[in-house]
Amino acid sequence: MNFIKTAVVALLALVALHQSEGNSTFQTQQNQCTREQHRLRYHVSPAEHWINDPNGMVYYDGVYHLFYQYHPYDTVWGPMHWGHTISTDLVAWTELPIALYPDEIGDIFSGSSVVDFTNSTGFQTNPDIAPIVAIYTSAGGEGQRQSIAYSNDKAMTFTKYEGNPVLTDPNSGDFRDPKVRKLLNGKWVMALAVGNKIEFFGSDDLKTWNKLSEFGADPEQGSHGGVWECPDLFPLNVTLAAGVTLEMWVLIVSINPGGPNRGSAAQYFVGDFNGTHFISNPWVNTQWLDWGPDNYAAVTFSNEPQNRVIAMGWMNNWLYANNLPTVAWRGQMTIPRTLELRDLNQTSNPIRLTSVPTSELEALRNPLEYVGNNAEFTVPPQTVIQLTEQATFKNPAMELEITLEITEQPGFSLCAYNAGGEEICFGFNETRWYLDRSKTGNTGFNQEYAGTLYATAPREITAEEMKIRVFLDVSSFEVFADDGLTSMTSLFYANEPLDMLYLNHWSDAGSSATLKVKNFKVWGLVCWVQERTKN
């Protein structure tokens, strides 16, 4: 719909706008924001060149390390290195020198890192610093094999193990993306993507591995529309509706192609892992971590200090990743998301994995750019409500928190838009959520991208109340509905920033559908990605 031609009901009286003037701290911060076209303001993206999968995510001694697939000589995929970025708070990140370079065994494909607190590897040199060990795929002339490298200086520099590779299988072509964790019995377990299934391996020292089991070759198990990649296996507690708390195991498996809205995506299984075997609950439907087009290869941090499960994904899709219309760089990560299990208390598929933005991200909220309303009001059909006011508050980086109540087959959308009529919308249509990036400006840079402009997802519950959170950045839109039961992530490339928000109740005129806004909050988000001076 064209916003300009739509009747606007001004609700200024209901809107409390808090904006004080002359707070130099925040103004300075905003002034230093990057002005590079499409550059994200609070997401991880490299200063230059290509990145894909997040790798080796690990926390140690106050620092979160995020490595990633990196091609330092071009903005398209090529010989892979591990790039490196760090954060103390999961909010602001600092790019460091390349951590791992290709070697005689091959390029450095995806993998994970662990902290070896017990010196099980024998790599430890300083009694006060535990080794951080990276486990990755070496991809070279002899195929895909697993290798390790260790750091005794808190992941600042790595030494490759002289015994590499540590795990080979000449019969497997696709044999990659090791994700390692330590079990309570002290054993290391690796989940590895092997063709269209996951294989599990065990080890005492990260150097010698033996195969434990495999999962997923059965075509009934999840989606098999493409190759399986980037597994992650972790336990999570769930409180059942009956009141009992139970530990269950989650296996995330990325798949390319075969996603619910085309191209790359991540599916998950919930079940049990007994130390050697993963047994999935016998559910028929494939469960998706994210229903949007742009969240691939999501994996979680090891050694998270609060024992949370925090995932980040490559915010992209292989259908068009090499053609994104960014200039200096290509590729970016989603915001960090805390994963939890929830019991929906229903007979089929009751246990779901939910994703919510990690609480640290509240630090991005700029108290000087806030608009909110706690009083309930009803939006009649065919009515548009501005959530931000053009005259006073515009920001291409915003967070929206809104609680809506709907009845009777309604349809509504929440859109970020600009004065030129470009917009991206998340909405609800009878029984499904949808995400529509068809009016975001540059939608034609790639034919495949042009085929992914409209995505949908089933709503998993029927409660009248809907809680929705949206994170908008200069070229990304991440939505979390029903407390993270459904998430949808999308890139977009507008000609001008989408810096305002509206709510459109588009149900038919004269229908008895009602849409109630119970409350909403919008914050402008501060940017930690500052203007870069290029030499």
Positions in the binding site for ligand NAG (CB under 6 A): 23, 25-26, 119, 122, 124, 127, 235-237, 241, 245, 247, 274-277, 307, 345, 367, 411, 429, 434
Residues 6 or more apart whose CB falls under 8 angstroms from that of 169 comprise 145, 175, 194
Q: CB-based burial of residue 444 (10 Å sphere; 0-12 exposed, 13-18 middle, 19+ buried)? A: exposed
237 strand-pairing partners: 247
State the Cα–Cα distance between residues 479 and 489, nearest whole angstrom: 6
Q: How far is the CB of 98 from ligand NAG (least distance, A)?
A: 27
Q: What are phi and psi of 350, to 5 degrees?
A: -75, -25
Task: Answer for the pair 488, 378: CB distance below 8 angstroms, yes or no.
Answer: no
Nearer to ligand NAG, 209 or 215 (CB): 215
Nearer to ligand NAG, 274 or 535 (CB): 274
Residues 6 or more apart whose CB falls under 8 angstroms from that of 280 comprise 215, 221, 222, 251, 269, 270, 271
Q: What are phi and psi of 448, to 5 degrees?
A: -65, -40
Which is nearest to 170 in space by CA: 202, 142, 206, 148?
142
Q: How far is the CB of 449 from ligand NAG (least distance, A)?
A: 19
Which is nearest to 9 in space by CA: 358, 377, 264?
377
Q: How far is the CB of 362 from ligand NAG (least distance, A)?
A: 13
Q: How far is the CB of 237 from ligand NAG (least distance, A)?
A: 4
Residues 6 or more apart whose CB falls under 8 angstroms from that of 447 comprise none
Nearer to ligand NAG, 125 or 390 (CB): 125
Q: How far is the CB of 198 from ligand NAG (least distance, A)?
A: 15
- Within 242-288, residue ranges assigned H as helices are none
Which tokens sit at 133?
């060990």
Nearer to ligand NAG, 359 or 390 (CB): 359
State the Cα–Cα distance between residues 217 and 106, nearest whole angstrom: 28
3-state helix, strand, coil in the chain (%, to 5): 5, 50, 45
Q: How far is the CB of 235 from ligand NAG (least distance, A)?
A: 4
Q: Which residues are catalytic?
A: 53
Nearer to ligand NAG, 25 or 348 (CB): 25
Task: Answer for the pair 192, 224: CB distance below 8 angstroms, yes or no.
Answer: no
Q: How far is the CB of 326 from ligand NAG (least distance, A)?
A: 28
106 strand-pairing partners: 103
State the Cα–Cα distance between residues 526 and 242, nearest whole angstrom: 42
Q: By beta-carbon distance, which residue lies closest to ligand NAG?
A: 122
Nearer to ligand NAG, 241 or 463 (CB): 241
Across the beta sheet with 329-330, the strand order is 94-100, 81-87, 63-71, 49-60, 329-330
